[in-house]
Structure 1
Amino acid sequence: MQTFRSELEKLFPDQETVFHHLVKYLFSPSNQAWGQITGFYEAYLAKAEERIGFQIRVFEPKQTPFTAVMKQITSCTQKHRLILPQSDEVTLRNETSKSILVASLSRKYYEEIDWMYGRRRRQSTGIAVYQASHEGKQHSGDNSHNMKAWMDIYLLSTSDVLVTSSMSTFGYVAAGIAGVKPWIVMIPDPYHPRGADEPACERAINLEPCFHFPPWFAYPDPPGTGGLVGRCEDVSWGLKLVGGHKTRR
């Protein structure tokens, strides 16, 4: 194990950026996808002084009310005002132009965020809200659908600030490519309810994704990892590379 660890340390001396380097190397869009990505970026996002990405994934939309998800999102964005000002406080004094990208299968979240921060004040602020696609539901095996998803991931990766969804590998990849530690919104889950006192979102400790289904023998601490692996922010039973960071038990 020590020999293996030594080799990994040679490959990845900075334990904060392991996934960032891997995903930048391994995930490359096709020429067709890249054309769509650059076209949308140049048309809508490139000129903004700040780009904010929302990645909203709801796995059980019929059992997870839209209002409950939006409550989590707005609670997160209003508490951590570096993400967005409260919508009622957006005034003419806000001189920074911002492009907000909403990546979601549903158009409802785009429409709500656009109403909160864009449409009502478009003439008096530099905030604009965009959505590149809204497929309604996931279409496994559909290459056209997959290309739109890839487009969303790469567009999100151009963000200066990222707000992603709990348990979403889509969000993990976008943050990894971006090299930006995301704010992870805890999307209400009917099968794994969270306590009322738990925060609406948490800042990821690093860029590493969460392994949702680790082997049983990895609990409570994976043997031989020397503190390099710990619990995820968004999945209580998941594990991730944590380096020297402390995570919840």
Structure 2
Amino acid sequence: MLSLVSTFLYALLTDRVLLVHEPPEMEGLFCEPFPGTTWLLQPADFPHKLDAAAFSSRSKESYVNMLHNNIIRYGYGAQVLPAYVYLHLETVFLLTESVKLRLQNHTFCEEDHRLLNKFDWMVVKSDNYFAVALFMMPMYRRELERMFPAKGAVFHHLGRYLLRPGNRVWGMVDRFFEGYLAGADERLGMHVRNKQIFPVPPEIMFEQILRCAREHHLLPQVLATSEPPTAEAKKKKAVAVLMLSLKPEYHDKLHAMYYTNATVAGDVVVSVHQPSHDGEQQSDARAHNERALAEIYLLSFCDRMVTTGWSTFGYVAQALAGIRPWMLLPVNRNKMRADVACVRPPSVEPCMHPQPSLLTCQQGPRHLDDPVKRVPFLRHCEDVPLGLKLLD
């Protein structure tokens, strides 16, 4: 979804038509956004034979490879260009003293985009929110200023226009919301993602969730007894917690805590609900993707939310909702504890994890600097220190 919105914005800036390759695992996830036409790529009608799954940074059609092999060159006015160009915008992992995330060279330099704009057909493959990088390019800046006076709401506007869940997904959203969430006075959404690269024990993650909720008064405190405090009877506030995770233990622990123990003031009733717990991410399974998309929209319908750092799931939900979440920060692996349980980002915009590589651009040494120092509406991300995000 982050890549799709980014590609749509790029198409708008370069006067291109957006066509989307829909593999079986994505079939029917989204409605057609454009009246009277389709945004789906029809292989039978496409003038060139494409194998979408085969494209990679090594592809001969890759822009960077064509540039290195002198198939295309800067500054040549009347070049005979190949039939199409492939722009590889997937993350490059650099294992130095730490893990660094980058994009390929020659992907966000102005001289490269002037050359890319000469191609009639372009294939884009991405795994990140590269819309942020477009705001770093002076050639697009004026148009982007006109489109988005509030830069902290780019995905909020584009995503709500472009991404509309299909009927099966919307049916799940509607049934769960009406059955479990609609009657609550307040809805708190929690998305917990324990990354496989740096997993932490569930009990440590759960302690961090409770610490975040306690420090920011997101949930009521409980007594060490099931007996409610003696007080005059009054109408109790109903808080529904939507717990979203691949694992069931966070739901089970939180549910047990509020089922077994009375709240301190006795004026709040907390219910905890989890639509699914598939165990592992299964991106190649359509049913799993349908559940994930439904849960993104359910999270976006909550009044307040807690998300997990590095999670694109949470990024999309917060941006669709236009709600700044409380974000669980990565655990300090030496202490096995997060020094700060959670923070509230200054904008709802998603984080672009990989920095665009600007060192090869022709515009000079200033590109060696941190782009945050040069672009006033850019900040580094709270959860990904070298990542970039937009804000007002």
Establish whether TM, by shorter chain, passes 0.5: yes
Residue 187 of structure 2 is aligned to residue 51 of structure 1: yes
One-letter amino acid of the structure 1 residue matched with residue 274 of structure 2: Q
Unaligned runs of 5+ in 2: 1-136, 359-366
Contact 2:312 2:350 in 1 (8 A): yes
Q: Secondary structure at the match of 2:371?
A: coil
Residue of 285, 302, 322 corresponding to 1:179: 322
Deviations 1:11-63 (A, max 9, x none): 11122211211221222111111011101101110111100000000112884
Q: Say if 1:189 and 1:170 are closer, same or farther in 2 by CA, change over 3 A.
A: farther
Q: Secondary structure at the match of 1:97?
A: strand
Give 2:91's aligned residue: none
Deviations 1:167-189 (A, max 9, x none): 00000001111111000011437
Measure, in 2, the Cα distance between the counterparts of 1:221 and 1:57.
29
Is 170-179 or 215-224 further displaced after alignment? Answer: 215-224
Contact 2:331 2:338 in 1 (8 A): no
**Within-5 A mapping of 1:1-249:** 1-2=137-138, 4-60=140-196, 63-81=199-217, 83-88=218-223, 95-118=236-259, 120-121=261-262, 125-188=268-331, 190=333, 198-217=339-358, 221-222=370-371, 226-243=375-392
Is 53-62 or 171-180 further displaced after alignment? Answer: 53-62
Unaligned runs of 5+ in 1: 244-249
Is 226-235 or 101-110 further displaced after alignment? Answer: 226-235
Contact 2:220 2:268 in 1 (8 A): no
Report deviation, 1:113: 1.2
Structure number with larger C-alpha Rg: 2
Deviations 1:66-94 (A, max 9, x none): 1110111111111111x112233986778
Measure, in 2, the Cα distance between the counterparts of 1:130 and 1:136.
17
Measure, in 2, the Cα distance between the counterparts of 1:195 and 1:139.
28
Measure, in 2, the Cα distance between the counterparts of 1:157 and 1:112.
23
Measure, in 2, the Cα distance between the counterparts of 1:8 and 1:194.
43
Q: Say if 1:41 and 1:119 are closer, same or farther in 2 by CA, change over 3 A.
A: farther
Measure, in 2, the Cα distance between the counterparts of 1:116 and 1:61.
29
Is 146-155 or 55-64 further displaced after alignment? Answer: 55-64
Measure, in 2, the Cα distance between the counterparts of 1:67 and 1:155.
25
Q: Secondary structure at the match of 2:200?
A: coil
Report deviation, 1:121: 4.6
Scaled by the length of structure 1, the TM-score of the pair is 0.86
Q: Secondary structure at the match of 1:240?
A: strand
Q: Say if 1:232 and 1:94 are closer, same or farther in 2 by CA, change over 3 A.
A: farther
Q: Secondary structure at the match of 2:382?
A: coil
Q: Secondary structure at the match of 1:237?
A: coil
Is 89-98 or 18-27 further displaced after alignment? Answer: 89-98
Scaled by the length of structure 2, the TM-score of the pair is 0.56
Measure, in 2, the Cα distance between the counterparts of 1:223 and 1:205.
15
Q: Secondary structure at the match of 2:343?
A: strand
- Alignment root-mean-square deviation, CA: 2.8
Is 119-128 or 14-23 further displaced after alignment? Answer: 119-128
One-letter amino acid of the structure 1 residue matched with residue 241 of structure 2: I
